[in-house]
Chain A
Amino acid sequence: MAIELPENVVVSKLDSLANWCRKNSLWPMPFATACCGIELMATGASRHDLARFGAEVFRFSPRQCDLMIVAGRVAMKMLPVLQRIWQQMHEPKWCISMGACASTGGVFDTYAVVQGIDRFIPVDMYVPGCPPRPEQLIQAIIDLQDKIQAEGTIEGREFTTFVRQQRKRALMELPIIGASQIRTLPRQGVN
């Protein structure tokens, strides 16, 4: 049975609507510990203007944020602080690991520096660079917006299954490690 709708009414799913709202008003929590923090500030400033993508309101309280941007190396002594701040943020929440140091430890392969924050907290987007340009961070936020729109956050189902991971635009070209997952990847070029 068809229902007649006026032209100015759009039918959608609640998930989709919620995701659309969320992705366009991200509130970043700047966890800036090093030079990446300077690029993070530049991203938020007028020249690069993160406000164009709805993520310009940096809050320094984790209670008011839903996107943690870890910018810079995390020392071993800082990691409990990072984890605590992550736990203090409300769901739905996302995390961007900005720069080589936050993602892998970078050049600081010493006794005191954590070799990638994804060993200890969940990460949604990795930004390469040392430090990354503001354009790269903006690209990561745009990709995260796609991810939020595609994967949903209601009931905490986000970012779990491989099917959802496949939709990550930034990671589409990269092999995903794990034997069960390699088989389902589309082969590119070679047999």
Chain B
Amino acid sequence: MSMLSEIVTALKDRFADVADSEFRGQARLVVPPLHCLSAMRCLKNEYGFDMLVDITCVDYLNFRDATDRFGLVYVLANTESNLRLIVRVMLNEPDLAVPSVTPLWEGANWMEREVWDMFGIRFEGHPDLRRILLPEEFAAHPLRKDYPLQGRGERHNFPVLTRAEA
């Protein structure tokens, strides 16, 4: 079974523009959106990362030393060797789209819908990319940093029931 550092090196050799870093013992790969799906497929099929633990996203707007707007985070796990790998895909407006990984891990379906709901990142090839948490008619993506904390009046757009009506 390969060690994590070997996997990282192999991925860097295989795909262009792949960077890596380490934080508190966790290996992180930064993959360009172009190679996202093929790198994921390689990690799953060749290196045994059979479990997609989580997909989430970070908005780096006004973050110190940040160069990219959004950081998409995939947490992968190998259930045989217990290795964990964090794969990041950096995205910038207006091109907020990555290929969906639902063909590889079925569990990505709802996680990608949540990231779409909260950050407005499109997952191309997703079978059913609808909002999952917020109401269908919600217009914005509220976990973006430029979204106001108290909303844009969405929570006031309901009919008021009075005693006479109800």
A interface residues (Cβ-Cβ under 8 A, vs B): 76-77, 79-80, 83, 86-87, 109-115, 119-122, 156, 158-160
Q: Are A111 and B151 in contact (CB under 8 A)?
A: yes
The secondary-structure label for the interface of chain A is loop
The secondary-structure label for the interface of chain B is loop
B127 at the interface (CB under 8 A from A): no
Q: Are A112 and B158 in contact (CB under 8 A)?
A: no
Complex: A41 Cα to B56 Cα, angstroms: 36
Given A77-B135, A112-B142, do A119 and B156 touch, yes or no (CB 8 Å)? yes
Q: Are B162 and A122 in contact (CB under 8 A)?
A: yes
CB < 8 Å A-B pair total: 55
6 contacts between A and B (CB under 8 A): A80-B158, A110-B149, A112-B142, A121-B166, A122-B166, A156-B163
A110: chain B residues at CB < 8 Å are 149-151
B66 at the interface (CB under 8 A from A): no
Residue of chain A at shortest CB distance from B147: A111
B interface residues (Cβ-Cβ under 8 A, vs A): 133-135, 142, 147-152, 154-156, 158-164, 166
- B38 CB → nearest A CB, Å: 37
Residue of chain B at shortest CB distance from A118: B160
Q: Which of B135, B147, B161 contacts A76 (CB 8 A)?
A: B135
A160: chain B residues at CB < 8 Å are 163
B133: chain A residues at CB < 8 Å are 77
Q: Are B163 and A112 in contact (CB under 8 A)?
A: no
